[in-house]
Copies of this chain bind each other. A is one copy, B any other.
Amino acid sequence: MPFTPRTPRVVAARRLQRRREREATRRFLVEGPQAVREALTRPRTVVELFGTPDALDRYADLAAAAAGADVPVSEVTDEALAGLAETVAPQGLVAVCRHLDVPLETALSRRPRLVALLAGIRDPGNAGTVLRTADAAGATVVVFAGDAVDPYNGKCVRSSAGSLFHVDVVRHRDPDAVLVAARAAGLTVLAATGHGEQDLDELADAGRLAVPTAWLFGSEAHGLPRELAEVADAGVRVPLHGQAESLNLAAAAAVCLYASARAQR
């Protein structure tokens, strides 16, 4: 018999929709076949897979991959699946995964050449989009620093479109300590800010984007705290050619990270 919304393991998994439960158990939920597939490519990440009978039949390769990795695969009713999923059309699959962030020291020891540091970003959709963009631009480390959104928030996971599983995700309470460690690891820290003294194009023209770089991005609402921006090697502004007063976070991150990617080739 498929599990129902009242089956204890379903009830336990559903609690992971709350941040406190995710922190306590160091587990989180991913939904949909694409995200489940990404999660299964990482060793010891998926703890349990739930699926409707239809979905487990349609995605038999994923069910087999899970079973082959000794991950319990359980049939659930449509109602139980709907309760586990946060989207309207999760395509019948939800997996419980282990947190996958690594210590800052581990991530930096791999000598990344492009890093994104998110300081105090609160919007999970924005955070996930920046994760995806950073991955696309070739960044291999994304740090959630300070009082930031939980990278395992369902909306962040979905917006990252799998990139949460591709890069080294780091969580750290203290943005200042992250900057110090990044510089000690040989990264130039560039703070993206509308008030930056350096123009992004001029930095590119001067060949200063070719070095290993950590880009520091602040929150959508408040930007970067001044004291944090001042610790960076430079404050950098994306040029505004029209009448817009600023770019939104995801767009600014895309332009900055891709400028570095192009210079580093």
Determine how close the nearest CB of chain B comes to the CB of A230; give it in whole angstroms: 25
Q: Does A153 contact B (CB under 8 A)?
A: no
A135 contacts B by Cβ under 8 Å:
yes
Q: Mark A252-265, 1 if CB is under 8 A from B, else 0.
A: 11110010011001
Q: Provide the residues of chain B in CB contact with A252, threshold 8 Å.
A: 254
Name the residue in A162, A166, A243 with the highest tally of chain B Cβ atoms < 10 Å from its Cβ.
A243
A166 to B245, CA, bound (A): 11
Nearest chain-B residue to A137 (Cβ)?
B241
User: Given A251-B129, A255-B255, does the pair A238, B201 have CB atoms closer than 8 Å?
Assistant: no
Contact code string A70-107 (vs B, CB < 8 Å = 1, else 0): 00000000000000000000000000000000000000
20 new A-B contacts at CB < 8 Å, known A133-B244, A250-B251? A129-B248, A132-B247, A133-B247, A133-B248, A135-B242, A136-B238, A136-B246, A136-B247, A136-B251, A138-B242, A161-B248, A162-B243, A162-B245, A166-B244, A241-B261, A250-B250, A251-B251, A254-B254, A255-B255, A258-B258
Interface string of A216-243 (1 = CB under 8 A from B): 0000000000000000000000111111
Q: How many copies does the complex hold?
A: 2
Q: Are A243 and B137 in contact (CB under 8 A)?
A: no
A163: CB under 8 A from chain B? yes
Known pairs A254-B251, A261-B239; A244 contacts B201 (CB<8 A): no
Given known A-B contacts A201-B265, A251-B250, A135 and B258 have beta carbons under 8 A apart = no
Residues of B within 8 A of A253 (CB): 251
Among residues of B, the one whose C-beta sits closest to the C-beta of A261 is B241
Q: Which residue of B lies closest to A241 (CB)?
A: B138
